[in-house]
Amino acid sequence: MFDLISHLTEKGIQHTVSDNGHITVGDGLNLRDTSITALPDNLSVGGWLDLRDTGITTLPDNLSVGGYLDLSGTGITTLPDNLSVGGYLDLSGTPITALPDNLSVGGWLDLRYTRITALPEKFTCLALYLDPERISNIAYRKGCGRLDRTVFAAWTGKEICIAAGCFFDVLAVFERAVDIKYTGKAADDYKQAARECVADLLKDNKNV
């Protein structure tokens, strides 16, 4: 069985263990390709946490990650409520089927090649990557612009945001960004696609 304390000690990774068993790792923690299948309760990682290609299927309720959290290629099926990740959260290629409400991600959120079919009612992230055909509560348009981008609109619990590539913000900000980068028909097509997505989302979701 994988013992995290032993692993930290053997690898010379700086950490502390409080009297009540709370484990604190000040910097990043790379557990990729290890035999770990579960994280201990009361774990705080000040930097990033890399769990790629491990047997992890769940996370403890009180996990704290100050940097990015990479779970790609794991068997993760659920996330704890109110999970907060300081950097990006990569869930690509996992069997996860749903996200918790109040999920807070300080960087991008990657849901590609997962089993997720709907976004939570409330979440935050800086960019959002997903398979639009799989998600029931977004509106999208394909083949936009010279790069044939997919543009989609999603409700975050506070506002409707437009996603295109690494962009994720409200319609007005999207249109300003388009006007800076594109001109003529290309700009018009992007903005029209985004407006149609917002209209579709409002039509299909009366509570938005």
Q: How far apart are CA 88 and CA 139, in angstroms?
A: 23
Percent of all residues in the chain with a pLDDT value above 90, rounded to a whole number: 90
The residues of the chain that CATH labels 3.80.10 are 1-135
Distance of CA 60 to the CA centre of its chain: 18
**What is the per-residue pLDDT across 79-95, written as a single tens digit (0 to 9) for each?**
999 899 999 999 999 99
Contact 66, 46 (CB under 8 A): yes
In this prediction, residue 206 has a pLDDT band, given cuts at 50, 70 and 90, of very low
Tell whether domain 1-135 is in CATH 3.80.10. yes
Strands 138-144 and 160-164: unpaired
Evaluate if residue 1 carries a pLDDT over 90.
no
Q: How far apart are CA 61 and CA 43, in angstroms?
A: 10
Amino acid found at 35: S
Amino acid found at 182: Y
Q: How far apart are CA 114 and CA 116, in angstroms?
A: 6
Where do the H-state alpha helices sit in the chain?
A: 4-10, 171-181, 184-204
Tell me how long the chain is.
208
DSSP for 47-103, written as a single string: S-EE-TTS------TT-EESS-EE-TTS------TT-EESS-EE-TT-------TTE
Evaluate if residue 207 carries a pLDDT over 70.
no
Q: What's the pTM?
A: 0.92
